Homo-oligomer: A and B are copies of this chain.
Amino acid sequence: MATGRSGGRVRLQDVATLAGVSMKTVSNVVHDYEHVSERMRERVQAAIDELGYRPNLTARRLATGRTGMLALAIPEMDQPYFAEIARCVGEEAGRRGYRIIVEQTLNDVEAERAVIRDREEGLVDGVIFHPARIDTLEIARLRPDTPLVLLGEAARPLTTDHVMIDNVRAAREATELLLATGRRRIAFLASVRTEIAESTHLRLLGYQEAMVGADIPLDPTLVIESEGFGIDDGVRALTAALDRGLAPEAVLCRDDLFGLAAMRALSSAGLRVPEDVSVLGWDDTSLARYATPALSSVSPDKRAIATSALDLLEDRMNGYDGIGRHLLAPYTIADRGTVARLVR
């Protein structure tokens, strides 16, 4: 049983002394170094067990210069999309021998600046960062000196590695899917008035491309405007549009939350989903999977995003110092219960 000096921690030297060997030898068995005689190994291991020795990771870090930790900076951990990304990054990082520090920027510009400026100094080997407020220019200017990979649509400086999905193309395909089910009056929920980010813009673009491609004249009233990002904002926006006489056959939503908002507004208006109106969400979060009916949703491959980001990051950590690589992660359209062929 471990009867270590309760209070003071057991050090490598203590083990060495007890085993009657040098620190190097102890270190060798701790690291499973091959060339250690069986007898030696046993003796040292016995001392380790007896003292209950655990290497001090901070000291190891100082000595090696590697921390074995990565930072993942996201706006909010409890937003389903980010929570799911965090899980994937965490799992994949663990597989590669890293641990992650999750940093919430809470949509604060200063917090975001801090992420790439100095928050992680000497603490982590690399940073995966999904910005929400900071833009391309500023990131390029801040030039972080810790390896960095960006996620999402908000910022993509040429100098920095970056992973996202092709939002325009995904939106186009999503719209085409809706068109293929015989729906022509497709609304977009929503263009957010206060939006700084880029994602809605790209998705709207793809939507418009598809409409134009199908020879459907763009009808600006179909692009609904919302006051904010909350579910209530979405419900209000769509309800108002419905009241105004908008009669969409489908609604393409900028995210799953607006997908739920659409379902709520439509059902209040006495419209059935998907019989009367199809609804398509975006991000394929738990929100979509657990809705009733389950919400069809554009589904970025979160595992692939995590893997790609980590690949790029490890590259940088291994010394790659070239121009930024920009990867497009795959996506699918998860077809669940809210998209159906229009029957009259």
Identify the A interface with B (CB < 8 A). Answer: 1-9, 54-59, 61-62, 64-67, 69, 76-78, 80, 83-84, 86-87, 90-91, 94, 99-104, 106, 118, 120-126, 145-147, 231, 257, 260, 263-264, 267, 286-287, 289-292, 317-319
List the 7 closest pairs (A to B, CB-CB), nearest first. Answer: A56-B122, A83-B83, A78-B87, A54-B121, A78-B83, A264-B292, A4-B65
Q: Which residue of the partner chain B has the closest CB to A84?
A: B78
Contact B292 A267 (CB under 8 A): yes
Please pick, from B146, B263, B287, B291, the residue contacting A6 in the complex, using a CB distance under 8 A. B146
In the complex, what residues of B have CB within 8 A of residue A319's CB? 1-2
Q: Which residue of the partner chain B has the closest CB to A147?
A: B6
Docked pose: A286 CA to B57 CA in angstroms: 37
In the complex, what residues of B have CB within 8 A of residue A91's CB? 104, 106
Shortest beta-carbon distance from A97 to chain B in Å: 13
In the complex, what residues of B have CB within 8 A of residue A9's CB? 122, 145
Docked pose: A264 CA to B291 CA in angstroms: 9
Contact B264 A8 (CB under 8 A): no
Contact B287 A290 (CB under 8 A): yes
Please pick, from B56, B86, B290, the residue contacting A231 in the complex, using a CB distance under 8 A. B290
Contact A59 B122 (CB under 8 A): yes
Q: Which residue of the partner chain B has the closest CB to A99?
A: B101
Q: Which residue of the partner chain B has the closest CB to A120?
A: B7
Shortest beta-carbon distance from A108 to chain B in Å: 11
Docked pose: A267 CA to B272 CA in angstroms: 14
Contact A3 B65 (CB under 8 A): yes
New contact pairs (15) apart from A6-B317, A7-B146, A55-B122, CB-CB < 8 Å: A1-B318, A3-B65, A3-B66, A3-B317, A3-B318, A6-B146, A7-B121, A8-B121, A55-B121, A58-B123, A77-B77, A78-B87, A83-B83, A90-B104, A260-B292
Q: Which residue of the partner chain B has the closest CB to A81?
A: B78
Shortest beta-carbon distance from A266 to chain B in Å: 10
Docked pose: A70 CA to B257 CA in angstroms: 32
Contact A87 B80 (CB under 8 A): no
Docked pose: A14 CA to B12 CA in angstroms: 31
In the complex, what residues of B have CB within 8 A of residue A94's CB? 104
Docked pose: A56 CA to B122 CA in angstroms: 5
In the complex, what residues of B have CB within 8 A of residue A317's CB? 3, 6
Shortest beta-carbon distance from A93 to chain B in Å: 10
Shortest beta-carbon distance from A291 to chain B in Å: 7
- A58-B61, A83-B78, A292-B260 known; A145+B8 contact, CB < 8 A: yes
Docked pose: A302 CA to B4 CA in angstroms: 31
Shortest beta-carbon distance from A270 to chain B in Å: 14
Docked pose: A106 CA to B106 CA in angstroms: 25
Shortest beta-carbon distance from A181 to chain B in Å: 23
Docked pose: A118 CA to B77 CA in angstroms: 26
- A122-B6, A126-B6 known; A77+B83 contact, CB < 8 A: yes
Q: Which residue of the partner chain B has the closest CB to A8?
A: B121
Contact A80 B286 (CB under 8 A): yes
In the complex, what residues of B have CB within 8 A of residue A84's CB? 78
Q: Which residue of the partner chain B has the closest CB to A60?
A: B122
In the complex, what residues of B have CB within 8 A of residue A77's CB? 77, 83, 86-87, 90, 102
